[in-house]
């Protein structure tokens, strides 16, 4: 068996979107599983669509995702260059080889004439097909015209009758009636190959054995295969992958505002969580396992586990999974990643960023939730007095007013403002007074946070706020409560 060689062949037209990331991941995983080689090839023959910087972004994204390629633009390899615009000169000799074989021919038709026929076809609701006017030019004459400098393209000569077909590992036998195919351009007038042609030549000349790519290419593959047949080349194994949908009607796309991989990282998703989630969108291990490191995916991945039907991107599920990954991070790593987010609401991360991070660690589903969860520490939120009412805690605004008035002097008396000291001052005093813990701690937490749920309880929050801020929030709460509780 020859060594497995797979490739990811993005066009540098923007950020790596999640469908692209999944294709790259499957091509990578398949190569790793089979001790093969994974290649990155940049398909930039359509220079008009190219976005400056997109190639670097794609490379960066693959690195962040951990999908290391063995051969590629910046790592080299025996089959380079790995950027099509740098391979420009290799394609024409192949095209001429096809001309020799009668599988392609030079075409001199003026653009204006073709544009006119295209417009006419469109007006009549027909798909434009080149009328093969130049097919009848004798080879010698065509050569002479090319050599004399006349403008030309090279077209594929599609057989007049029959079927073009191939067997897809996923979708089985796919065939099209050749009468539906156009004599597509292989080499453009500017000397560049078309996207379709360069793709075939490169897959062959880079020794690609397995092509994993989106189903959008399923219908053009028979046409590519006519080229393989004309050259007499062995065909690679094709594995087309079902779409990743945003909802029931549309596929995931950056244009519609769906996030790219780097958008998700920017929001505070972990690359390892995104890869885990994305790998399961269209593949399953055959059992109930949901959590996989990239290494584990490399072991577990099989083509049999690929699904044939489209899968739906579910951000809530990703968020849940990301939360599980964050919880499993060693605290020091969590702290390092959380700090820049804490600083967005609290200069320097507040009085004790480490303690705050400890309290937030188990509640962080995505890092971008941190500023929201910590904001109450820098700005006291507005809140409704109904928050003081809590049946289980036996609290209501009247109880709250009493409890806060009780707690205020105790808090004032604490000099060494630590969680332990606050605890030791409050708890015995509450017990002695005959009050229930919840009757004091619930209102206190509401008074100093304005929130129903917080990272940590009353003493932790009081500690994080510091003595002055805690007391001033308690005073403000008492004023509001006494105005509210005053009999009319």
In the bound state with ligand GLU, the residue whose beta carbon lies nearer, of 128 and 217, is 217
Alpha-carbon distance values, 170 to 5, 84, 166 (Å): 18, 28, 12
Which contacts qualify for 288-294: CB closer than 8 Å, 24 or more apart? 290/321, 291/321, 291/324, 294/66
Contact (Cβ atoms closer than 8 angstroms) between residue 113 and residue 135: no
Cβ at position 217, least distance to ligand GLU in Å: 6
Under the binding rule (CB under 6 A), the answer on residue 43 touching ligand GLU is yes
Number of residues interacting with ligand GLU: please give it, by CB under 6 A.
7
Spatial distance between the Cα atoms of 263 and 15, rounded to a whole number of angstroms: 9
Q: Hey, what are 342's tokens?
A: 């804490």
CA distance 34 to 22: 18
Nearest distance in Å: CB 45, ligand GLU = 9
Select the residue interacting with ligand GLU from 11, 45, 156, 260 (CB under 6 A): 11
Pairing of strands 185-187, 153-156: antiparallel
Q: Nearer Cβ to ligand GLU, position 244 or 441?
A: 244
Q: Which of 6, 61, 194, 199 binds ligand GLU (CB under 6 A)?
A: 199
Measured in degrees and rounded to the nearest 5, phi and psi for residue 436 equal -85, 145
Q: Which is nearer to ligand GLU, 9 or 104 (CB)?
A: 9
Q: Of 7-15, 112-120, 265-273, 398-406, which part binds ligand GLU (CB under 6 A)?
A: 7-15
- 254 assigned to active site: yes
Report, in Å, the least distance between residue 27 CB and ligand GLU: 9
Nearest residue (CB) to ligand GLU, 6 versus 364:
6
User: Could you tell me which stretch among 6-14, 74-82, 234-242, 324-332 binds ligand GLU (CB under 6 A)?
Assistant: 6-14
Query: Quick one: CA torsion of 296, 298, 299, 301, rounded to 10 degrees?
Result: 110
Q: Which of 33, 88, 188, 254 is catalytic?
A: 254
Spatial contact of 243 and 218, defined as CB atoms under 8 Å apart:
no
**Largest alpha-carbon pair distance within the chain?**
110
Pairwise CA distance, residues 334 & 343, whole Å: 14
CB of 19 to ligand GLU, least distance (A): 9
Task: For the CB of residue 203, give the shortest distance to ligand GLU in the complex, in Å.
Answer: 7
Q: How far is the CB of 196 from ligand GLU (least distance, A)?
A: 9
- Among 4, 6, 10, 18, which residue interacts with ligand GLU (rule: CB under 6 A)? 10
User: Is 260 an interacting residue with respect to ligand GLU (CB under 6 A)?
Assistant: no
For ligand GLU, the binding residue among 4, 9, 273, 474 (CB under 6 A) is 9
Phi/psi of residue 244, nearest 5 degrees? -105, 120
Backbone angles phi, psi at 174, to 5 degrees: -120, 130
Residue nearest to ligand GLU (CB): 213
Cα–Cα distance measured from residue 176 to residue 350, given in angstroms and rounded to the nearest whole number: 66
400 within 8 A of 481, measured Cβ to Cβ: yes
Q: Which stretch binds ligand GLU (CB under 6 A): 4-12, 83-91, 438-446, 477-485?
A: 4-12
d(CA 258, CA 328): 27
Contacts with ligand GLU, 75-104, as mask; x by CB under 6 A: ------------------------------
CA dihedral over 388, 393, 395, 399, signed as positive or negative = negative
The contact mask relative to ligand GLU for 212-231 (x = CB under 6 A, - = no) is -x---x--------------
Contacts with ligand GLU, residue ranges (CB under 6 A): 9-11, 43, 199, 213, 217
- Which residues form the catalytic set? 254
């Amino acid at each position: 068996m020859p060594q497995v060689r797979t490739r990811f062949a993005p066009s540098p037209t923007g950020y790596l979107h999640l469908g692209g990331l999944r294709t790259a991941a499957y091509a990578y995983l398949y190569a790793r599983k089979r001790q093969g080689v994974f290649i990155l090839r940049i398909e930039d023959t359509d220079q008009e669509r190219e976005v400056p910087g997109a190639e670097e972004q794609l490379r960066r994204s693959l690195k962040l995702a951990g999908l290391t390629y063995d051969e590629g633009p910046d790592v080299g390899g025996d089959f380079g260059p790995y950027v099509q615009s740098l391979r420009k000169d290799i394609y024409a000799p192949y095209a001429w080889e096809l001309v020799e074989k009668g599988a392609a021919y030079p075409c001199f038709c003026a653009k204006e004439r073709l544009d006119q026929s295209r417009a006419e076809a469109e007006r009549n609701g027909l798909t434009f097909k080149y009328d093969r006017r130049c097919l009848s030019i004798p080879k010698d004459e065509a050569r002479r015209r090319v050599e004399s400098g006349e403008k030309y393209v090279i077209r594929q000569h599609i057989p007049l009758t029959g079927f073009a077909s191939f067997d897809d590992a996923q979708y089985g036998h796919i065939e099209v009636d050749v009468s539906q195919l156009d004599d597509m351009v292989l080499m453009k007038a500017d000397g560049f190959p078309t996207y379709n042609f360069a793709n075939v030549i490169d897959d062959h000349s880079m020794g690609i054995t397995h092509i994993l790519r989106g189903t959008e290419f399923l219908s053009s593959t028979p046409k590519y295969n006519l080229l393989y047949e004309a050259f007499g080349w062995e065909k690679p194994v094709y594995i087309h992958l079902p779409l990743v949908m945003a909802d029931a009607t549309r596929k995931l796309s950056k244009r519609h505002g769906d996030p790219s991989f780097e958008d998700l990282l920017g929001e505070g998703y972990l690359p390892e969580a995104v890869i885990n989630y994305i790998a399961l969108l269209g593949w399953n291990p055959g059992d109930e396992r949901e959590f996989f490191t990239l290494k584990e995916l490399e072991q577990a991945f099989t083509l049999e586990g690929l699904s044939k039907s489209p899968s739906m991107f579910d951000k809530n599920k990703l968020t849940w999974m990301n939360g599980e990954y964050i919880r499993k991070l060693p605290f020091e790593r969590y702290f390092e990643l959380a700090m820049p987010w804490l600083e967005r609401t609290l200069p320097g991360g507040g009085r004790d960023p480490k303690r705050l991070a400890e309290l937030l660690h188990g509640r962080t589903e995505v890092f971008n939730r941190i500023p929201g969860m910590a904001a109450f520490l820098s700005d006291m939120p507005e809140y409704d007095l109904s928050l003081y009412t809590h049946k289980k805690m036996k609290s209501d605004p009247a109880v709250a007013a009493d409890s806060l008035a009780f707690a205020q002097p105790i808090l004032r008396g604490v000099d060494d403002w630590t969680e332990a000291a606050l605890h030791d001052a409050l708890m015995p005093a509450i017990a002695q007074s005959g009050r229930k813990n919840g009757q004091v701690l619930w209102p206190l937490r509401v008074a100093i946070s304005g929130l129903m749920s917080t990272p940590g309880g009353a003493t932790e929050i009081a500690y994080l706020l510091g003595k002055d801020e805690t007391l001033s929030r308690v005073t403000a709460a008492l004023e509001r409560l006494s105005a509210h509780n005053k009999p009319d």
